[in-house]
C-alpha cells in the first residue's frame, strides 16, 4: 500500500498527520504530568492514550466523522472493565469502591457558582 495515498485518503477524516501527532502528544503529555498517572493500570493508561488519539483526530480532522466518537465510547467502555477472567476473552466490569448513588449534594443548587 502506498503511504502517501493512505495519508491522502485518511486526511479528510483524520486530518493532517503532523497536526494530529502534535495534538495527541500534547494531550498525552498533560495526562502523564499528573501524579495519579503512574497509579493507573496499563489498561487504563492505554484506553486514555487511545481516547487522546481520537480527540486529536476530531480536532485536526472532520469532527462529524462518527467513527471517532464511537471509538472514544468504546475505549471508555474498555476503561470501565477489568481484564478477562482466566479462560475467557470477555472483560469483566470494574468493581467500584464507591457507590455513586450515595453522592447527593444537600446544598441548594448554585449552578456551579458559590
Q: Where are the domains of the chain?
A: 10-83
pLDDT in tens, 75-86: 999 998 876 665
Average per-residue pLDDT in the chain? 81
Share of the chain above pLDDT 90, in %: 54
pLDDT in tens, 3-32: 888 888 888 899 999 999 999 999 999 999
Average pLDDT over residues 34-59: 94
> How sure is the predictor about 90, in pLDDT bands with cuts at 50, 70 and 90?
low
Grid look-up 476530531 returns: 58
Give the predicted TM-score (pTM) of the model: 0.71
The whole-angstrom separation of Cα 114 and Cα 109 is 9
The whole-angstrom separation of Cα 90 and Cα 43 is 14
Grid look-up 476503561 returns: 79
Where on the phi/psi map is residue 2: left (φ > 0), alpha (ψ -120 to 50), or beta?
beta
Beta-bridge partners for 92: 82
Where on the phi/psi map is residue 87: left (φ > 0), alpha (ψ -120 to 50), or beta?
left
Amino acid at each position: 500500500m502506498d503511504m502517501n495515498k493512505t495519508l491522502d485518503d485518511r486526511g479528510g477524516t483524520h486530518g493532517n498527520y503532523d497536526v494530529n501527532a502534535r495534538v495527541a502528544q500534547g494531550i498525552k503529555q498533560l495526562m502523564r504530568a499528573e501524579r495519579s498517572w503512574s497509579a493507573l493500570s496499563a489498561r487504563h493508561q492505554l484506553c486514555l492514550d487511545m481516547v487522546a488519539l481520537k480527540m486529536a483526530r476530531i480536532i485536526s480532522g472532520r469532527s462529524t466523522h462518527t467513527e471517532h466518537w464511537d471509538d472514544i465510547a468504546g475505549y471508555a467502555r474498555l476503561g470501565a472493565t477489568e481484564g478477562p477472567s482466566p479462560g475467557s476473552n470477555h472483560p469483566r466490569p470494574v468493581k467500584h469502591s464507591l457507590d455513586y448513588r450515595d453522592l447527593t449534594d444537600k446544598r441548594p443548587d448554585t449552578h456551579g457558582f458559590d
